[in-house]
């Protein structure tokens, strides 16, 4: 089976007593499947394991629970006494940070979009704009969408386009923006599909019908259930989906990158059509369309505006990008419009991007007829069998459209777990680092939904986790963001009071112990929705994907081993990240000790919040 074009997202276990006085040693005599988390508390940390006559295997996640992205240098010193036969190995070596595979294409594709997003955030930070409110007037493009009806097929609409091609900035000054004239091609139940009259190619009526059906039944239905419905500031009951050559033209020919589409938050700002001064006039933005809008890559098979984009490619791009960008739109409206917030109340970058990658996954699950918490395997989500989203769709096509990118980004995180910039607040790190951050954010939120989402049934069968995700998207009454949003959402939805280190302790060990064939004492240390090892094994063995660096190994997680006898390993860990170690012996193991220090042999700084989670897996 070959993939279609790969064009392209500590409540369990136990906690050891804190060392007292001068004592820094903790004895760990674990049963099979048992896990334990030990905190350093600013002291030299020693973990001591008993000798055993049989085989033993211990898996460790060494974490910095710091809520910053700062890196902490550490040293692990191992020592052993007594006899034993250690079978020590490094299971997987890290792939190069930069590669010629999917990662470069993803990073190149994301680079300009990231730059645009950062410029938009900077503009909003420097220009305090007034949010538009439903019924406030002045809404909708020039077609007069102020009426509570949608336009009809064939109608001509005129839009403001505030993106500056030269530097990817935006403007509220109508003397600097441009205008787009577009024709309505299809009106669905929830979306109006319009095409720029300057485009040189277009979808067929059948294509538009399929896009409309998918938006109504999957993208709108799932994203709205999980992240809240749109505010409908233009009072037309629809989202405007604009296919325009202007998105294509943002990319120069031959650059090997493209922007697939975006949502512009200034479209949610109140406009003053009588002024061109923008934010100089009481915080209004005359270039705002004051409407829920998505801007998408247009078909351009002849390469008239940038590198050629086939109709098929533009259509597939629209499907995945719409689910991602619609979450950004809904999340922004939750925080700015529906709860009387401001443009400063947007979520942290890592969490906002993570929610959008979850949105892609959720639409894929619905499109493929799958539920959450089903431990899905590669064969479950691929194959030639039909998918509910359409009679011409196969499970493999759904996988390529909605899942492949997310598993590729997750692989980049797995390849560099200790160096990933995880909880980035207001600036996407860009490049490969952005792929790693997005991979972390997606799998963390999937794990969070699996374990802290309420039981029952929702838009996706298997749980009522959408309640948790709705709270994350909105930020609650005070518009919490980032880690505060995570902690607050868990408290509001489940009543549980958890800390960030406790969450990291269970989450961080999960990638290395989930589905390893051992019954874990803590269910929080697995991932109920996906059998990650099986999915990656399938990607590794598949002729269409297996040669990409992300999938060269049967499981891409980088795990380092150190001998049971005297050895020293120096490493560093970013905040809210982890380094994985494994120790194993085939027949018997000696008494051994692991000592964690800073590079000079002293205690790791307390600000790093060093903690180690250990699980015995043999």
3-state per-residue secondary structure call for 347-364: CCHHHHHHHHHHHHHHHH
CB atoms within 10 A of CB 342: 15
pLDDT tens-place string over residues 252-272: 888 766 789 999 999 999 987
CA distance 18 to 592: 20
Greater confidence (249 vs 93) lies with 249
Residues 358-364: what's their mean pLDDT? 98
pLDDT tens-place string over residues 284-318: 999 999 999 999 999 999 999 999 999 999 999 99
b or e along 172-189 (b: 16 or more beta carbons within 10 Å of the residue's beta carbon)? bbbeebeebebbbbbbbe
Domain ranges of the chain: 129-341
- Tell me which residue of 265, 194, 186 sits closest to 233, measured CA to CA: 265
Whole-Å CA distances, 109 to 255, 263, 545: 10, 16, 18
CA-based diameter of the chain, in Å? Answer: 85
Q: Tokens 């720029």 — which residue?
A: 196
Q: What is the pTM for the complete model shown? A: 0.90
- What's the pLDDT score for residue 2? 33
pLDDT tens-place string over residues 146-202: 345 789 999 999 999 999 988 899 999 988 889 999 999 999 999 999 999 999 999
Q: Could you tell me the two tokens for 389?
A: 């989203």
Evaluated on CA atoms 152, 156, 158, 164, the torsion sign reads positive
Residue 53 main-chain phi, psi, to 5 deg: -80, -20
Q: Where are the beta strands (DSSP E) in 506-602?
A: 560-561, 567-574, 577-588, 591-597
Least confident of 107-116, 251-260, 312-321, 532-541: 107-116
Bridge partners of 386? 394
Least confident of 148-152, 450-454, 578-582: 148-152
How would you class 369 by CB atoms within 10 Å of its CB: exposed for 0-12, middle for 13-18, buried for 19 or more? Answer: middle
Is a pLDDT exceeding 70 seen at residue 6? Answer: no
Q: Which residues, 6+ apart, have CB-to-CB distance to 478 below 8 Å?
A: none
Whole-Å CA distances, 61 to 45, 272, 418, 582: 14, 55, 10, 9
CB atoms within 10 A of CB 68: 15
How would you class 579 by CB atoms within 10 Å of its CB: exposed for 0-12, middle for 13-18, buried for 19 or more? Answer: buried
């Amino acid at each position: 089976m070959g993939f279609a074009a790969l064009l392209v997202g500590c409540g369990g276990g136990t906690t050891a007593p804190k060392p007292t006085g001068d004592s820094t040693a903790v004895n760990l005599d674990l049963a099979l499947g048992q896990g334990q988390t030990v905190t350093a508390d600013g002291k030299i940390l020693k973990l001591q394991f008993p000798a055993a006559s049989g085989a033993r295997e211990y898996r460790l996640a060494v974490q910095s629970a710091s809520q910053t992205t700062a890196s902490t240098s550490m040293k692990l010193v191992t020592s052993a006494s007594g006899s034993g036969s250690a079978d020590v190995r490094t299971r997987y070596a890290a792939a190069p940070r930069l590669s010629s595979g999917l990662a470069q294409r993803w990073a190149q594709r994301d680079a300009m979009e990231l730059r645009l997003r950062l410029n938009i955030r900077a503009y909003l930070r420097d220009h305090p704009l007034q949010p538009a409110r439903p019924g406030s007037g002045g809404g909708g493009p020039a077609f007069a969408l102020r009426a509570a009806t949608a336009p009809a097929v064939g109608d001509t609409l005129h839009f403001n386009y505030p993106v500056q091609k030269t530097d990817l900035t935006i403007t509220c000054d109508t003397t600097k923006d441009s205008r787009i004239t577009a024709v309505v091609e299809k009106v669905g139940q929830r979306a109006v599909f319009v095409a720029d009259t300057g485009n040189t190619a277009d979808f067929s009526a059948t294509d538009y019908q399929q896009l409309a059906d998918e938006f109504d039944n999957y993208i709108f239905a799932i994203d709205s259930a999980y992240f809240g419905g749109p505010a409908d500031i233009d009072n037309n009951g629809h989202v405007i989906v604009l296919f325009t050559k202007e998105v294509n033209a943002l990319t120069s020919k031959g650059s090997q990158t493209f922007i697939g589409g975006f949502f512009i938050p200034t479209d949610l700002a109140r406009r003053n059509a009588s002024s061109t001064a923008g934010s100089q006039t009481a915080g209004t933005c005359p270039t705002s369309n004051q409407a829920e809008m998505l801007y998408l890559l247009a078909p351009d098979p002849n390469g008239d505006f940038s590198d050629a984009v086939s109709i098929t490619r533009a259509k597939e791009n629209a499907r995945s990008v719409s689910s991602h960008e619609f979450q950004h739109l809904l999340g922004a409206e939750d925080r700015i419009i529906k709860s009387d917030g401001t443009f400063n109340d947007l979520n942290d970058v890592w969490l906002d991007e993570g929610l959008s990658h979850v949105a892609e996954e959720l639409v894929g699950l619905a499109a493929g007829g799958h539920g959450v918490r089903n431990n899905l395997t590669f064969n479950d989500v691929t194959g030639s069998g039909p998918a509910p989203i359409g009679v011409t769709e196969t499970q493999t096509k759904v996988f390529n459209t909605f899942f492949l990118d997310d598993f590729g980004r997750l692989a980049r995180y797995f390849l560099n777990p200790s160096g990933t910039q995880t909880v980035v607040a207001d600036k996407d790190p860009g490049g490969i680092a952005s792929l790693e951050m997005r991979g972390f954010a997606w799998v963390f939120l999937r794990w969070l939904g699996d374990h802290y989402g309420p039981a029952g049934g929702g838009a996706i069968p298997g749980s009522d986790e959408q309640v948790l995700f709705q709270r994350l998207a909105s930020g609650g009454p005070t518009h919490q963001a980032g880690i505060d949003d995570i902690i607050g959402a868990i408290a509001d939805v489940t009543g549980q009071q958890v800390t960030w280190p406790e969450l990291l302790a269970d989450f961080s060990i999960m990638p290395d112990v989930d589905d390893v064939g051992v019954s874990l004492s803590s269910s929080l240390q697995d991932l109920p929705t996906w059998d990650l090892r099986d999915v990656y094994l399938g990607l590794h063995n598949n002729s269409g994907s297996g040669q990409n660096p992300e999938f060269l190994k049967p499981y891409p997680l980088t795990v380092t081993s150190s001998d049971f006898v005297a050895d020293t390993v120096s490493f560093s860990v970013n905040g809210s990240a982890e380094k994985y170690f494994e120790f194993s012996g085939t027949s018997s193991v000696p008494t051994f000790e692991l000592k964690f220090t800073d590079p000079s042999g002293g205690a790791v700084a307390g600000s790093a919040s060093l903690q180690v989670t250990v699980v015995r897996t043999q």
